[in-house]
Amino acid sequence: MRTTMLNLRTGGDEVVLDLTRQCKSFVSGLGDGLLHVFVPHATAGLAIIETGAGSDDDLLAALADLLPADDRWRHRHGTRGHGRSHVMPAVVPPYATVPVDGGRLALGTWQSICLVDLNVDNADRSVRLDFLEG
């Protein structure tokens, strides 16, 4: 198994951050296997979606509808509605696994691996990449 950590700053806004380039670079030349991507945070997740054509903004809008940033949440530290960030990983999981064929991600044409972060109180994020040789 080969492992690396990505250290990222997501800023003070909700974000869908495309990690595909970093993931491609990590598996380049490694052969066949699986890339497992994991976010060791209680308030972030990973999605495999199309980006750049509005789908990333659509995902944030859908999460805002599903998990409103209001005072309904029992988990109440940080900014208003922060508790929803702790519920989000049940909807957008903190992991994704992608096949790797000949050192290349076996993603579909429009698929990207993205970090989803609604937590505007913590801009520092880590993402763990593990390559499991097949």
- 90-127 pLDDT, tens digit per residue, is 999 999 999 999 999 999 999 999 999 999 888 899 99
Confidence of residue 82 (pLDDT cuts 50, 70, 90): confident
pLDDT of residue 134: 82
Global confidence as pTM: 0.94
For range 48-62, the mean pLDDT: 95
C-alpha distances out from residue 117 to 55, 87, 134, Å? 15, 12, 31
Instruction: Say if residues 80 and 60 touch (Cβ distance below 8 Å).
Output: no
Fold of the CATH domain 2-133: Jelly Rolls (2.60.120)
Please give the C-alpha separations between residue 52 and each of 49, 58, 119, 123, 127, in angstroms, as whole numbers: 10, 11, 21, 22, 21
Residue 16 has phi, psi (to 5 degrees) of -115, 110
